[in-house]
Amino acid sequence: MTVLTIATTPYADQKPGTSGLRKKVPVFQQPNYAANFIQSIFDSLDGFAGTTLVIGGDGRFFNREVIQIAIRMGIANGFGRIIVGRGGILSTPAASCVIRAYGAFGGIVLSASHNPGGPTEDFGIKYNISNGGPAPEKITDAIFAISRTITRYLTIEAPDVDLDKDGETRIGGSVVQIIDPVADYAALMEQLFDFDAIRTLIGSGFRVAFDAMSAVTGPYATEILERRLGCPAGTVRNGTPLPDFGGHHPDPNLVHAKELYDLMMGADAPDFGAASDGDGDRNLIIGKGIFVTPSDSLAMLAANAHLAPGYKAGLKGIARSMPTSGAADRVAEALGVPLYETPTGWKFFGNLLDAGMATICGEESAGTGSDHVREKDGLWAVLLWLNILAARRESVMAIAQDHWSRFGRNYYARHDYEGVDSAAADAMMAELRGKLGTLPGTAFGTLTVATSDDFAYLDPVDGSTSNQQGIRILFEGGSRIVFRLSGTGTSGATIRVYIERYEPVGGDLAQATPDAIADLVGTVEAIAGIARHTGRTEPDVIT
């Protein structure tokens, strides 16, 4: 086997965002674009000669091509074993599981998650470290720095590997191993949850609807829900992964999973509805007649996790991203465990999980997970819900109402302004930042600003700091509005506005969310001037 050194020139735009490098497919199709980034990943790492690299993706358009590139480059760069999910498929949580299960050095995960797929849509590449989690900022910064000066990449001359046949192929001194993408993950789920109890629940006529959104979770959900837990065929909808997700956004929110939402609100609704995103790490939970916000779901899962075998010893701590509502904080307090508030993105949870400081983590963007892997995990959340429902034998609605009556309710919504002119969005954030010192004490209608800041995180494990992670406006009485720019979009900027109001026990816990937060929504323009800066008067997506 001859290692080829191919001359290349750098691209200036390979800065990883919240979760890896995401660009439109035509950007990735430029000469050497993917190879440059993959070589920059390898060049940022040390000591991997002879070790194992995991490669897999969410099956979107361009997945197979980049997998072949990554296999050749992985061998040329000296990995001893390359493990690839059959068909090039590994959901993000399954990739994390496989990296851990096989003791791999790391993994390359090909996904743009909830972003649409297809020839003119999105693609992404992410590097995960040996704990199975997304590379921390120290590594992503190094990858970016290398990508700006790269002059060559390493590959080998070899035919494409047959991705559809399980087994091992020797290429030079390395082995390429194609594995079942579902088996290791499904086995892990069986360890964590009481499958017998869930099977009994299903057998009693409990009805489940799971929308895989034509994305990667289809094969995982079909194996686990239908084959192992006995849900009838057809429980998993849109269960075949398609390169363009059937032309939809594989984003499990109330806009893009509206069909499921309508089903769950209808007369003959199933008992439990759920959906997952493009790469399988997000979850949407809808009970019969009730949508559970991701922030509430995190809190409810944490409060009931001890009902599942994997968590019966209790939680060591709970971690949530800063924009996620404070609902989980009250559960942590009641359980007497610490609550950690991190910047947006799963990479910030890894250290806490590795150090045994947190057991369950979550984000308002429909991501929940635990220390079983180092990624958020859509099906895991679904199975924990099912385990809790099997143990409590109450409806989702009853569990939610009981939760609010014990902890109070955090009314919560996120307003997204998508595809906004980047310069205008930057100007808006800069202006807000400039006002932070003078906002406290200012009244907006009935609301008065108590404090305001730009969230900064000091990692309690490795002492690293991350600044400018979102602007927080906290009002007297505990309500808050958070402003930040998305780090996963691929066209223009996306402004995210997170709005939260806490209603204590004894208050009106049965309001419609838009009514409960109307005052706060009414202050957004006066505080941030979104319309003034961007011309947008309404958000594009409310979740």
For the annotated catalytic residues, the residue numbers are 113
Location of structure tokens 């990508």 = 147
Select from 143-151, 344-352, 381-389, 527-535 the region that touches ligand VG1 (CB under 6 A). Answer: 344-352
**Minimum distance of Co ion from residue 91's CB (angstroms):** 9
Question: Is residue 243 close enough to count as binding ligand VG1 by CB under 6 A?
Answer: no
The sign of the dihedral angle between the CA atoms of 464, 465, 470, 472 is positive
Report the residue number, 221 or 449, with the smaller CB distance to ligand VG1: 221
The sign of the dihedral angle between the CA atoms of 66, 68, 70, 72 is negative
Report the residue number, 10 or 487, with the smaller CB distance to ligand VG1: 487
Residues 259-278 touching ligand VG1, rule: CB under 6 A, are 277
Interaction site with Co ion (CB under 5 A): 113, 277, 279, 281-282
Task: Provide CB contacts within 8 A for 123, sequence distance 6+.
Answer: 22, 23, 24, 25, 28, 60, 61, 62, 66, 110, 112, 117
Secondary structure (3-state) at 229: coil
Which residue has its beta carbon closest to ligand VG1?
A: 113
Report the residue number, 282 or 472, with the smaller CB distance to Co ion: 282
Select from 58-66, 225-233, 342-350, 397-405 the region that touches ligand VG1 (CB under 6 A). Answer: 342-350
Edge-to-edge order in the sheet of strand 443-444: 443-444, 447-454, 471-475, 480-485, 493-503, 409-420, 541-542
Write the binding mask 275 to 304 for ligand VG1: x where contact by CB under 6 A, - elsewhere.
--x---xx----------------------
User: Would you give the DSSP letter of residue 33?
Assistant: H
Report the residue number, 44 or 486, with the smaller CB distance to ligand VG1: 486
Cβ atoms of 502 and 479 closer than 8 Å: yes
Report the residue number, 178 or 495, with the smaller CB distance to ligand VG1: 495
Question: Is residue 487 close enough to count as binding ligand VG1 by CB under 6 A?
Answer: yes
Write the binding mask 100 to 139 for ligand VG1: x where contact by CB under 6 A, - elsewhere.
-------------xx-------------------------
Task: Provide CB contacts within 8 A for 171, sequence distance 6+.
Answer: 1, 75, 156, 158, 161
Exactly one of 344, 351, 359, 452 binds ligand VG1 (CB under 6 A); that residue is: 344
**Minimum distance of Co ion from residue 8's CB (angstroms):** 30
What residue type is assigned to position 319 of the chain? Answer: A
Residue 334 corresponds to which tokens in the numbers above?
Answer: 């009641």
Nearest partner of 156 among 55, 51, 79, judged by Cα: 79
CA dist., res. 232 & res. 208, Å (int): 9
**Minimum distance of Co ion from residue 245's CB (angstroms):** 12
Q: Binding residues for ligand VG1, how many (CB under 6 A)?
A: 18
CA dist., res. 457 & res. 2, Å (int): 46
The sign of the dihedral angle between the CA atoms of 28, 59, 247, 93 is negative
Residue 521: exposure state from Cβ atoms within 10 A (0-12, 13-18, ≥19): middle
Question: Is residue 64 close enough to count as binding ligand VG1 by CB under 6 A?
Answer: no
Question: Is residue 365 close enough to count as binding ligand VG1 by CB under 6 A?
Answer: yes
CA dist., res. 327 & res. 297, Å (int): 9
Report the residue number, 270 or 539, with the smaller CB distance to ligand VG1: 539
Question: Is residue 44 close enough to count as binding ligand VG1 by CB under 6 A?
Answer: no
Location of structure tokens 């090909």 = 110
Report the residue number, 72 or 114, with the smaller CB distance to Co ion: 114
Task: Provide CB contacts within 8 A for 8, sequence distance 6+.
Answer: 32, 35, 36, 39, 150, 151, 152, 153
**Minimum distance of ligand VG1 from residue 98's CB (angstroms):** 17
Question: Is residue 194 close enough to count as binding ligand VG1 by CB under 6 A?
Answer: no
**Minimum distance of Co ion from residue 453's CB (angstroms):** 29
Let me know how long the chain is: 543
Q: Which residues would be at the binding site for ligand VG1 (CB under 6 A)?
A: 18-19, 113-114, 277, 281-282, 321, 344-346, 363, 365, 367, 486-488, 496
